[in-house]
Structure 1
Amino acid sequence: MTDFRIDLRRGALITAALALLCSLFHVLPANAEPTPFADCPAATLCLYSGADGTGERRDFTDRQNLESYDPAWDGRTLSAKNNTALWACVYGDPAYGGVLQTVKPTNPDAYAAGAVRSHKLVPTRARCFTGYERCPDNRVCTFTEPNGRGAMTVHLPKTDPATRNYGNGYGTGAMPKSVWNRTQKHVCFYPEPTFTGGWTDPVDSRKYGAYVVLRGDSTTVPAPFATSIRSHELVDGTAECQ
């Protein structure tokens, strides 16, 4: 009799366990949705053509900072996963120009269509706001946006001893908003393409014969010089500016 009661009890326990197991299988989905961005490799910035890490994926490392994308990808990014230890800087225009957004290390982000057209990976968020590092040594580099952002023009030296010119003829549509002088000479900027002219400050009426960027300096060009530079030359001393 005793053995019969023990068998009944064991049977009840087994039945209850099977019922619980079946209920667990019943509530599990047949096809669980994948975790967003789960396919992004380590030490990689992943850009996706769809939301939440879906669609076509493109991978970049810290050695693949692109100032612009090929036409097939330009402006297509709708989401990103920064699976690196660096900050990701994404820009609305090529050459680190336009609207800037930053992504913390290991974080995802989402974007409107056409909002991402260039990017770089940097050690600190502050370096997202500048692009001077692109300028080669012993060159004068001018940029279409403040703080070294936007399209960059590298001015190569010429050998004319009369002008000592590193570049002129900026035209009316490509005047620099910022400059890095990576040479051993000072740079004199002028409002005329002939290395001449000057400016008058609209606030205090002070007159300037040239806008000077000293050797090794980088700067955002202030008013009244911004948007009106037409030429420049390199000199050994600022007194040599025309």
Structure 2
Amino acid sequence: MTDFRFDLRRGALITAVLALLSSVFLVLPASADTEPFDDCPQGQFCLYDGSGGTGTRLDVAEGGKDEDHPGTILSVQNNTRMWGCVYTADRYGGSLQTVKPGNDDEYVTDGVRWTVASYKLVPTRALCFTGYERCENGKACTFAERNGRGAMTVHVPAVDPATQNLGNSYGTEVAPKSVWNRTAKHLCFYLRPDYTGTWTEGTKTYGAYVVLRGDSITVPASLAGAFRSHELVNGTSECQ
């Protein structure tokens, strides 16, 4: 009988210890630290002013964009169905990072900050590499960078007294590197502000660079930033 009572007490002690351990294990997950980016809601592109999803959070819905973001962005979480496009310069210019749906990204590496100045959310990754969509139908738009990126100039042509063609003259502040002609006319670009100027490639000399109606183009490297005027014409033979 003595041995039996001893076994009962030992069994009760073991049961109590196991119960205590179980209660500890049940409490641990609730007290664990929140995982990075866990606070980002579904359907939102979350921008944080701290690395690793820390600091103040800004939520952006699908299709959102900002061509000139004034604040600091050091990390992002993309919980949308769209691609996040993040740029180092305003107007979708400079270097580019893309953020796949469901992924996060970090903009501090080894203590070096990657400046974020603009962003947009688009249906496909390919659309991160262009900015032509900013040009409205019926307008002629030039861009400071390739593929419609960078600062955009929307041209409102005036009538040239000599040719009666609609045209614009401008200086280095425009310096087109890409163009979208969304008008019903053709665009003739020139190297000089007075709708003149020629350049030679091989054995041929050219007086105008033509962008047909409806076309978007990246200007050849040899001419990028060189145009100083353009006209809108009905036929390419009207180029001066």
TM-score by length of 2: 0.88
Tell me which residue corresponds to 1:152.
152
2:197 is the alignment partner of 1:192 = no
- Distance in 1 between the 2:80 and 2:26 partners? 37
Q: Tell me the C-alpha RMSD between the 2 structures.
A: 2.4
Using a 3 Å threshold, how does the CA distance of structure 1 residues 51 and 195 change in structure 2: closer, same or farther?
same
Within a 5 Å distance, the mapping from 1:1-242 to structure 2 comes to 7-8=8-9, 11-21=12-22, 24=25, 28=28, 31-70=31-70, 73=71, 76-112=72-108, 113=113, 115-159=115-159, 162-169=163-170, 171-201=171-201, 204-242=202-240
Unmatched runs of 5 consecutive residues or more in structure 1:
none
Q: Secondary structure at the match of 2:172?
A: coil
Q: Which has the higher strand share?
A: 2
Please state how far the C-alpha of 1:62 moved relative to its aligned partner. 2.8
- Distance in 2 between the 1:30 and 1:134 partners? 48
| Equivalenced residues, count | 234
Q: Secondary structure at the match of 2:86?
A: strand
Q: Is the 8 A contact 2:142 2:174 kept in 1?
A: no
- Distance in 2 between the 1:65 and 1:3 partners? 76
- Distance in 2 between the 1:43 and 1:168 partners? 45
- Distance in 2 between the 1:125 and 1:117 partners? 19
Alignment deviations for residues 105-154 of structure 1 (CA, whole Å, 9 cap, x no partner): 01110013352100111111111111111101111100000000000000
Q: Is the 8 A contact 2:160 2:167 kept in 1?
A: no
Using a 3 Å threshold, how does the CA distance of structure 1 residues 183 and 23 change in structure 2: closer, same or farther?
closer
Q: Is the 8 A contact 2:159 2:167 kept in 1?
A: no
Q: Is the 8 A contact 2:200 2:206 kept in 1?
A: yes
- Distance in 1 between the 2:62 and 2:83 partners? 10
- Distance in 2 between the 1:237 and 1:31 partners? 73
Using a 3 Å threshold, how does the CA distance of structure 1 residues 159 and 174 change in structure 2: closer, same or farther?
closer
AA at the equivalent of 1:234: L
Using a 3 Å threshold, how does the CA distance of structure 1 residues 30 and 139 change in structure 2: closer, same or farther?
closer
Please state how far the C-alpha of 1:14 moved relative to its aligned partner. 2.1
